[in-house]
Amino acid sequence: MQGKIALEEHFAIPDTLMDSAGFLGDAVWPELSARLLDIHGRRVAEMDRHGVETMILSLNAPAVQAIPDVAKANDIARRANDFLAEQVAKNPRRFQAFAALPLQDPDLAARELERCVKQMGFRGALANGFSEAGAAGNCLYYDLKQYWPFWAEVEKLDVPFYLHPRNPIAAWAQIYEGHNWLLGPTWAFGQETAVHALRMMGSGLFDAHPDLKIVVGHMGEGLPYSMWRIDNRNAWTGAKPNYPAKRPIADYFHKNFWLTTSGNFRTQTLIDAMLEIGADHILFSADWPFENIDHASNWFDAAPISEADRLKIGRTNSMRLFKLGNE
């Protein structure tokens, strides 16, 4: 399929580059680091070869979210966003931008998002999971009431927010001791992000701000497969849900969430996601440079789905969600 739009596609600036070291092993670091720092060279060539018209770019992980010093987090976010705006301006048909945000301070994050959207035309924001604020290990999740004024600004700006993974902090990762292979994209990324998303759904956030649009990657971080059980476990008891939200969790998942195919190129998983959340809420992505564009594109282009759904997932859903129709 030609004209695909991909939106979990990362870059790095020198200040954040080493945050990606170690995930894929020392032997491939020269290749990975070169991929992260490149925007207009090999990246565009890969897009051309595999039918990707546009990428919405975002900073690598965990980057800003793992900087406990608020002033430093804000400085890195602003510098990364300014750099990204310059890169997009060089080739806006091929690239658009997600803002990095200093969510250690919700007010600062709201102001930076407003700057990026209104002054530089960014299409939304991407945050790498929870933010550490004040001291390493002091983790803040975005369902907390202190973030609700920030979410009001996101809703007012009418832009999507991409909840991207990061590993749990070491003090909370005892279950992985001796099994480090389970960290990162194998398992811990998905578990961490799924719980964060469920916290947001159960908190009442989407009752207060019903027009929020949240994107999660990797075909939903396992959530589509578990949605029935989340809402219907032990139903014979008649017990009421013990969370503040007014409706079943699946209601918020279906209305307020969009899923991407990033880094999860399996047809069975795609079909499950389509059955649970609908083809209108699924978006093509690759997860470059951590995954290959050809692996994503070759699989998606051949997946046994209707051509109408392929067009939606590959292009038109993203055009609508990110207001790319007039580009």
Q: Which two tokens stand for residue 164?
A: 């991207």
Establish how many alpha carbons lie within 13 A of residue 94's alpha carbon, considering only the half-sphere containing its beta carbon: 14
Burial of 46 (0-12, 13-18, 19+ CB in 10 A): buried
Got the DSSP string for 111-153? Answer: HHHHHHHHHH----EEEESSEE-SSTT-EE-TTSGGGHHHHHH
Contact present, 16 and 59 (Cβ < 8 Å): yes
The CA radius of gyration of the chain, in Å to the nearest whole number, is 19
Dist. CA 210–CA 246, nearest whole Å:
12
Q: What is the dihedral of CA 123, 314, 45, 32, to 10 degrees?
A: 70
Instruction: Please list the residues that pair with 132 across neighbouring strands.
Output: 139
Cis peptide before 210 (omega within 30 of 0): no
CA angle 281, 194, 123 (to 5 degrees): 45
Contact present, 96 and 53 (Cβ < 8 Å): no
Dist. CA 175–CA 255, nearest whole Å:
33
Dist. CA 227–CA 93, nearest whole Å:
37
Given the residues 48, 287, 294, 301, the one annotated as active site:
287
Burial of 218 (0-12, 13-18, 19+ CB in 10 A): buried
- Would you call 287 a catalytic residue per the annotation? yes
DSSP one-letter code for 166: -
Q: Which residues are catalytic?
A: 287
